[in-house]
Structure 1
Amino acid sequence: MSTTYLMTSTLNGFVAGPNHELDWLYDLPPGDRDFTTFLDGVGAVAMGASTYEAILRDADLLQHPERWHQAHGDRPVWVFTHRSDLPKVPGANLRFATDVAAEHPAMVQAAGAKDVFVAGGGGLAAAFAEAGVLDRIVIGITPVLLAGGKALFPADARLRLTEVERKGQVVFVSYQVL
């Protein structure tokens, strides 16, 4: 079991455009961004408020909560935010939280023998690293360049390369966090 930050990135290190746009990602062939195998090994998910809002918007989840359940089932998801105005997807196993270090033990317990998946964004992944609970980073590098946007990982980290895999037009690079 590990706590893993998996994120798809542009070649120049952005995970979203300047206004959290993900259209560049949706332009990739669906098979190149299929994370089904990875998600089968995930027992709990963490995401930041911007990521949560982007998927709410892009998948129209408040009108179609079944789309959330297709992706997550009953898997618990923690949304890390300091805001109290975020809507909850109806029927989702969802928790709003502020403190990574305080919540991580509950996430590990909820995950059981599976992984904790830090889904985004980069600031949240950095908070997991700073709390000393991030074990692995997996980056799906796409053949896309953006002029600006949200950084993949806005902090210092020392890593050890553990694996490289190609899936269509995306190269997945896995690192152990040292």
Structure 2
Amino acid sequence: MPRVGLTAERLTRAGAELADEVGFAQVTVSALAERFGVKVASLYSHVRNSQDLKTRIALLALEELADRAAEALAGRAGKDALVAFANVYRTYAREHPGRYAAAQLRLDPETAAAGAGVRHAQMTRAILRGYDIPEPDQTHAVRLLGSVFHGYVSLELAGGFDHTPVTAEASWTWALDSLDALLRERSAS
């Protein structure tokens, strides 16, 4: 019989909190059981294994990130939308490093299609419509933006910009200004 108070949703949220505290790679069913003070076996009626738990955390993180991005994009276009979208990712990664790492988990196509991954792609394409970027350049641009945002955030979280006289904030602004200029240059006109 399932332990009272334990649900898949509660375990997923607790797993996400644990990921932010100790790192996504360290999240296991055993670590979660220890957190709740229960035996590992009592969690298996809610999650199949550690991979299932990590997938659930990834889907939660993608939903949270998509919700924040959608709110930030409302009523914005062009550079304003680009900057708002990028800042959501950066802020989320800083506030929730474990969840951000979870959002990078490779999901099988069926799981990804059922989750918020599609929303992220749609929002990115919506930003690019403001620049009037045609295909196949639009697909290239989606990949470029994802690479720049993720690469920058990952390097920043790892302390890669800590020992330079130029602030990370100044470089972030420069990168976003450069992306905006590139996208305007590539527009269909």
Same fold? TM cut 0.5: no
Which structure shows the bigger proportion of residues in helix conformation? 2
TM-score in terms of structure 2 length: 0.27
TM-score in terms of structure 1 length: 0.28
Return the index of the structure with the highest Cα Rg.
Answer: 2
* Structure having greater relative contact order (Cα 8 Å, sep ≥ 6): 1
Which structure shows the bigger proportion of residues in strand conformation? 1
